[in-house]
A and B are shown apart, each in its own frame.
Chain A
């Protein structure tokens, strides 16, 4: 049933033999010494031509005959009771086909759904929304973090406190160690609410046939949406089909069936016609999720040798009516400290709900941790990189610090004078950590057709990371055929189950299932090929599309000739993603370096140079992997310098729900980015692949903040580091 194999695992210069027990039908995990033909080679993504020509069909592009357009009426008030809704004028408008009200009679943020319509055009749908008359009873609200925590603050949820119970954890004795420390630092660090701004908005096209529902939706989790819809509409799972062929970003905001998905389905049912309902940009900013704010009070102490001996972080933050604002993860993970205490408290207020966003909690925590590290290093009079080296125990990160410092020129840049008139340069470094190991659950099907085509089918989705490409590469590698022979079908709940694409789980969860399926299919093809060359199937191997006898390569048959002997049209095999093995390590390190230039007259910060060094087990496609890291860095620079959802606390509304007022990184803000990978054979699955989306984003804002501190000699402890904050900091220093 299972077998023991000894694997050579680790990384360049640190290899060790690790014994793992694997099921009999699992291919032996790729190990350090395995030389692969396709995996590991930079490969343009297989669906690139569709995307570059506009031919890729996103949910937003789906058009069905007789399709209507939906629109949602949202509350202008942050807290109100709906006394009545008069939609009679909307119903009478020419072209309107369905009108519906939401079930709740209380709205808790400006932007909360109230009613919706479906009409024959999007313009008419929006006209109809404007004709709905709602009578509100405005209720007391709170849209300010500190005010929400005050005693007597208006309750966001009736009979409930705005302040959740603290989540605490502790190790050793913080108070004693802090008192004994050679050098200490205390500071409070804040981060704003960030919104996801996925370019494809949330939404769906919903279509009913009797009690069967098909939904094309912009989601990171087709099966999660299916499950939510079967519960909401009380349907058996088979009756709901969810399709996401292409997905225009998600970043954590697109798990499950949100209100806008349910509304599209309800409108379609009421109208008896398919309905497309895609949210506007404003609705995206108000109602589809955000990264919660944070206020982090940090106390930190080190001994004479520059070793951290005490860390405390007491944090609170708000994701509006959503929870999950904790951000202390990096404090317990990136550096080793024997005396540690953390406390997280979630605060509710009358603003749009939070949702997971790219490494939830970690960019906030990493920013506070790393800037505090720099402030402490300064008191210790210790080089900041050296301080981190002394406190980072992860062996891979040690290698990454080394490689990164060299590529970045840490030593040379440390010696370069900072000042050039009003412009001041500075450098920073920050450590990353994540744990993109993937999970069991996904199954894959691989099909060989008589014409020699090979098809991979998995019910996963591509958030933009290149899922089709990495799955096709793994299948091609295992099958021993060219990548061009493989097609990869994903994004449909008619395929075998897979998990949501979030938390960097897609590649590590799906590639092992695909490899197992491909290895099973290979055995089936060998059984067809064996009699063709008078061999035993067990003696066969395949390389470059040629099946041959392992010890006698003159006896061979082309893969496509073997496929011609497939009885029927095709032959297929399945594979499952088994639980992680013990392997080498169950975590990821990483580090990023940044150089900035600060204009001390205008307060404008420019990021000049970034070096990002990461490990993600075995890198399947270095090209798409590099793209992901570039993106993680740039989203982090946006968090550091520009992005903040701005509220008017007196009105309780968002004042910048647009892409011109909510500032993000554009082409002119892009620094030189050098991406480096440390390949690790970890053996925790048969592919040893880990994810990259989160790890590449954790340390980016932190490295920039540290560089700004280095440049101007005063820390900016509040993100984003806008020009006015830079100027205020410089004034305070002077």
Chain B
């Protein structure tokens, strides 16, 4: 038993579940070995790539929250790491580091993206907006104000990403429904389980912006 329940006699030899379990073990074993695929790198390098960067630090320009930043950065550095470790913008959080939790969500040209899944060099030529660019404690964005008002945060670690997802959704559709808000935040995990208040906050921001226009 332990984590896995004891075998049930009625179960076929290879169930969907045991197949998935087997696949997971293979993936985990591969990640432990940490294979370096030199041939693949070699092949890619010759495949008509328009621009060749790295592996050393590269001087690039980024447009973040309306300001232009010049920084020297290795091409392997993710946008999340660049924001946090190179630019000191620590509002954006790293949680899963593989696009599964939404905590690192920023806006790229107004669209929500997970900054842990994006290389910094790929953000060149785009407008990046981080949580710091949305508002500050003295002048909060309406979505941030709604989060406070509805207590849509507990430990607060998912909050910047959650706010960015909601803000992008409401910018795209100021009259989003509860169901649309749920889907807009579907990629954001909150371990404190504060989703209900997030939906309430988002809906109140929706109504407020609706009223403002009317």
Contacts and interface: CB of A to CB of B under 8 A. Distances in A.
A466 B192 CA distance: 12
Nearest to A653: B28
Contacts of A258: none
Contacts of A60: 90, 93-94
Most chain A CB within 10 A, of B88, B96, B101, B155, is at B155
14 contacts: A45-B151, A47-B156, A53-B132, A54-B160, A55-B91, A123-B77, A199-B191, A248-B93, A281-B96, A462-B155, A653-B29, A670-B199, A673-B196, A731-B10
A39 to B, nearest CB: 17
Contact of A644 (B3, B32, B186): B3
A529 interface: no
B195 to A, nearest CB: 5
Interface stretch (A424-432, A578-586, A626-634): A626-634
A653 B29 CA distance: 9
Contacts of A463: 155
Interface string B10-30: 110001110001001101110
Contact of B97 (A53, A280, A646, A668): A280
Nearest to A51: B156
A123 B76 contact: yes
A608 to B, nearest CB: 14
Interface residues of B, number: 81
Interface string A643-670: 0111111010111111111001111101
A635 interface: yes
A198 B154 CA distance: 12
B34 interface: yes
A200 B155 contact: yes
B182 A53 contact: no
A192 interface: yes
A237 interface: no
B147 A635 contact: no
A146 B131 contact: no
A655 B188 CA distance: 23
B151 to A, nearest CB: 5
B195 A667 contact: yes
B186 A666 contact: yes
Given A53-B132, A53-B140, A199 B95 contact: yes
Chain A to chain B: the 6 pairs with minimum beta-carbon distance, closest first: A54-B91, A464-B155, A634-B193, A51-B156, A248-B157, A145-B2
B162 to A, nearest CB: 9
Contacts of A731: 10
Nearest to A317: B2
B194 A627 contact: yes
Nearest to B183: A668
B127 interface: no
A144 B5 CA distance: 10
A130 interface: yes
B130 interface: yes
B3 A293 contact: yes
Interface of A: 44-45, 47-58, 60-61, 63, 69, 76, 121-123, 130, 143-146, 148, 190, 192-193, 196-201, 246-249, 251, 280-281, 293, 295, 318, 349, 462-466, 623-624, 626-628, 630-635, 644-649, 651, 653-661, 664-668, 670, 673, 718, 722, 724-725, 728, 731-732
B157 A48 contact: no
B2 A249 contact: no
B109 interface: no
A76 B28 CA distance: 10
A630 B197 contact: yes
B185 interface: yes
A246 B155 CA distance: 8
Interface string B57-77: 000000000000000001011
A281 B97 contact: yes
B144 interface: yes
Nearest to A668: B186
A631 B191 CA distance: 8
Contact of B101 (A58, A464, A659): A659
A509 to B, nearest CB: 19
Given A646-B24, A661-B24, A52 B2 contact: no
Nearest to B34: A130
A54 B92 contact: yes
B196 A48 contact: no
A100 to B, nearest CB: 21
B96 A660 contact: yes
A728 B148 contact: no
A633 B90 contact: no
Contacts of B203: none
A190 B1 contact: yes
Nearest to A463: B155
B6 A667 contact: no
Contacts of A54: 89-92, 130-132, 159-160
Contacts of B79: none
Nearest to B5: A718
Given A146-B1, A464-B192, A631-B154, A660 B100 contact: yes
Contact of A48 (B21, B29, B153): B153
B176 interface: no
Contacts of B5: 190, 718, 725
Contacts of A295: 1
B125 interface: no
Contacts of B186: 666-668
Nearest to B11: A728
Contacts of B158: 199
A630 B90 contact: no
Given A51-B153, A644-B3, A667-B198, A63 B193 contact: no
Contacts of A666: 186-189, 195
Given A190-B1, A665-B193, A670-B195, A63 B77 contact: no
A76 B30 CA distance: 11
B182 to A, nearest CB: 5
Nearest to A197: B191
Contact of A281 (B25, B95, B183): B95
B75 to A, nearest CB: 11
B156 A246 contact: yes
A52 B144 contact: yes
Contacts of A659: 95-96, 98, 100-101, 189
B8 interface: yes
B153 A52 contact: yes
A53 B1 contact: no
Contact of B159 (A52, A196, A465): A52
A52 B183 contact: no
A143 B2 CA distance: 8
A28 to B, nearest CB: 31
Contacts of A47: 156
A295 B2 CA distance: 8
Nearest to A621: B151
Contacts of B119: none
Most chain A CB within 10 A, of B81, B131, B156, B197, is at B156
B143 to A, nearest CB: 8
Nearest to B159: A51
B77 A654 contact: no
Most chain A CB within 10 A, of B15, B147, B193, is at B193
A195 B136 CA distance: 34
Given A50-B156, A148-B2, 8 more contacts: A54-B130, A199-B101, A199-B103, A630-B197, A647-B3, A660-B98, A670-B195, A728-B10
Contact of A58 (B74, B154, B157, B194): B157
Contacts of A201: 95
Contacts of A668: 182-183, 186
